[in-house]
Chains A and B, each alone.
Chain A
């Protein structure tokens, strides 16, 4: 045995194992969205159960929370209560909440809302899923927070938590309220 050569060869273990060790710390499913910081993609969608069309362009100057959901989505059920409380807390402070129904029928959506005990804000219909694709949606639930300047501030993949709002919505309101 030539131990000097062995030692040199053994060094090759380090980069291989290092790469895998690094990889173990990453989540292959967490794909960063390019949207935050960029202008939110415009939309004009019919609000479910009404004849109204909601346009993002009309909401300029306001903080918008856009929540993509579906009646068949289990994770959406778990965030429903958080969203309701957030809407009750931030709605009076001028934050506009909208749900967007993703790959679902209006009937199912309405039944779901009734089952979950109602929803204080409108849900928009996106029949061709164009808006969802414009927002780079991977699945539901996903929630976008759009600042008063019309730019996407944050994208939440998976259910929102109360912290989502304190962390990303409060600073926006603080800025706006201070400006007044």
Chain B
């Protein structure tokens, strides 16, 4: 019953998406309003149908309906309810279903918020959204059908991948990633709409700004949540391994970040129109590429799902999107050409151009490194690896330069300023950078890039904070407001600008956390007998014994590790664990992490003697790790402030005055 409901909903959605795409295009060509409205209705209907299908799947998972192929694949009666629900996205078919659901919600919301206002541009964008929908619904009816029939019906299933049912962050990282990824379809659809309709001015940019921002916020949060998940689960004390799939989520973030900056140049100076279209198309393509890399098994990765024919579908889709985009962009490039003009090189416009160059080069480096094993195999016939050392070597110079720019940008006004103004504005920041650099050198910070990162982070911190101080002071003088009030009003009246600066502060927190935890990581790997202690970077911990626990879905072995204070008295017990899942081979680690704002004490249980006579533990002390997670939240907060419309507030205030 559930199976028929779910699969029927998807088949109908597929038919409606095909109809909607055709109706939107024919409607524009024939200027037939009724046809266009029917295409919009199809978008609403699909939102309902995909919601229904997704709820049907959740219901099937919860009721352990093993007659449905996806439930038989990832369900298990022993899995706790929470992980049963989130196993919706723990394997291929479910994640594609969730993708389709998110896409249908986006499509319906776009129709709701823009209907009747954007003319042919909106209709072509709607046709594009329907067309992307066709691809995903097609997968759901064929190669990625989650509602397949299973006969005979098994009594129980294996449960989700152990790695994905070991931490609650699995409830955050994948859905946020999908909401971010899929959200990039909206600006892409409007870019394609603009290219087809020939409305190449800023309308498509303005119409999609908030959608892009929303998608970007979710993508940023998803990346940070993914780092946190790696840190809390994989047990090596790190959060970023340059794994192909981490890279796949990072690349569209880089191009989208470049886009968020470069659109401002187009809005103010009318330049970079081809570039902005290219960036957003690239962002969309990179989200599809990321999915292709995970789903096709083309690169080996921790995150790779089982491979199958689905990779060829994604490859075909990538080829189609690339072809359509290139044909449209090249065909329209002459019409898009504008006369460039800059007042000065020392202007905000020019820093945005450099920012775009660096972010694109960063993205290209990551893409090249990720795909290079394929290239090397094709060219040399040899398997090579491209991992952390390569990416660090290549990206660190770009990252520190971006940190520097992040300080220069806000200090430079639009249209530019002379050297005297520039010097005055940047002097405090430069002094801060000098002090921090000298301090870092005096303290013998072990890495050259860490010194630069700290110095430029200080530089950018002062420069960005200065913007708030200057603005608030001006308000205090002009309106006689108190300092906190002036600050809030300042941000409220210029949300996009100051939201951006707040996001910058978040980026600085992330960068400082990464630089500090990488440069000042202290670790020991020791085998301890009960009662023995080990000291790492001022922390002394004592191994007190092993315990074991039998749970329905897994078997857990834990070590009690007491953290000792200066007098040797225990003040806290940490319990790193090893989880042996009934459906999986290698044990999954649950490191014990004591997080503080200044540093993290991270203990991982590596091995143990079965008679409990000893345990091998990895004790790591890393400073400022918490600031990576906090910084991620600040970035999202700043971007959210920048996304809230000012217009709504202004209008409501007017109403009050009347």
Contact = CB atoms under 8 A, between A and B. Distances in A.
A129 to B, nearest CB: 13
Interface stretch (A20-28, A37-45, A58-66): A20-28
B383 A31 contact: yes
B390 interface: no
B637 interface: no
Given A1-B331, A26-B377, A29-B300, A20 B383 contact: no
Given A17-B319, A23-B298, A28 B331 contact: no
A20 B298 contact: yes
Contacts of A28: 297-300, 373
A8 to B, nearest CB: 7
A8 B330 CA distance: 8
A178 interface: no
18 contacts: A5-B333, A6-B327, A6-B331, A10-B323, A16-B318, A17-B318, A19-B374, A21-B315, A22-B374, A23-B299, A24-B311, A24-B315, A26-B374, A28-B298, A28-B300, A29-B300, A72-B585, A74-B585
Interface magnitude class on chain B: 20 to 34
B322 A5 contact: no
Contacts, number: 76
A167 to B, nearest CB: 22
Nearest to A26: B377
B292 A9 contact: no
Contacts of B327: 6-7, 9-10
Contacts of B298: 20, 23-24, 26, 28
Contact of A20 (B318, B323, B332): B318
A3 B299 CA distance: 36
A74 B583 CA distance: 13
Contacts of B375: 19
Interface of B: 292, 296-300, 311-312, 315, 318-319, 322-323, 326-334, 371, 373-375, 377-378, 383, 585
Contact of A32 (B292, B312, B383): B383
Give me the 8 closest cross-chain CB pairs, A-B, nearest first: A9-B330, A28-B300, A1-B331, A9-B326, A6-B331, A6-B327, A5-B330, A23-B374
Contacts of B297: 28
A12 interface: yes
B367 to A, nearest CB: 11
A13 interface: yes
A76 B318 CA distance: 40
Contacts of B315: 17, 20-21, 24
A21 B333 CA distance: 29
Contacts of A128: none
A72 B292 CA distance: 33
Given A1-B331, A20-B318, A6 B377 contact: no
Given A6-B328, A7-B327, 19 more contacts: A2-B331, A2-B333, A5-B333, A6-B326, A6-B327, A10-B323, A10-B327, A13-B323, A13-B326, A19-B375, A20-B315, A20-B374, A22-B378, A23-B298, A24-B298, A28-B297, A28-B298, A31-B383, A32-B383
A12 B324 CA distance: 12
Contacts of A19: 371, 374-375, 378
Nearest to B329: A9
B607 to A, nearest CB: 11
Given A20-B315, A28-B299, A28-B373, A13 B334 contact: no
A1 B332 contact: yes
A13 B323 CA distance: 6
Contacts of A1: 328, 331-332
A32 B376 CA distance: 14
Given A17-B318, A19-B378, A24 B330 contact: no
Contacts of A31: 383
A32 B311 CA distance: 24
Nearest to B304: A28
Contacts of B377: 23, 26
Contacts of A8: 330
A3 B327 CA distance: 8
A6 B332 CA distance: 9
Contacts of A20: 292, 298, 315, 318, 374
Nearest to B334: A2
A24 B296 contact: yes
A72 B587 CA distance: 12
B281 to A, nearest CB: 12
Nearest to B324: A10
A3 B331 contact: yes
Nearest to A32: B383
Contacts of B371: 19
Contacts of A22: 374, 378
Given A23-B374, A28-B373, A29-B300, A16 B322 contact: yes
A8 B327 CA distance: 8
A73 to B, nearest CB: 9
A23 B297 CA distance: 9
Contacts of B326: 6, 9-10, 12-13
Nearest to B195: A1
B287 to A, nearest CB: 16
Contacts of A2: 330-334
Contacts of B585: 72, 74
A2 B332 CA distance: 6
B216 to A, nearest CB: 25
A31 to B, nearest CB: 5
B322 A13 contact: yes
A31 B375 CA distance: 15
B293 to A, nearest CB: 9
A16 to B, nearest CB: 7
Contacts of A17: 315, 318-319, 322
Contact of A6 (B319, B330, B373, B374): B330
Nearest to A9: B330
A131 B322 CA distance: 50
A13 B319 contact: yes
A13 B326 CA distance: 8
| Residue with the highest number of chain A CB atoms closer than 10 Å, among B292, B298, B375, B377 | B298
A45 to B, nearest CB: 23
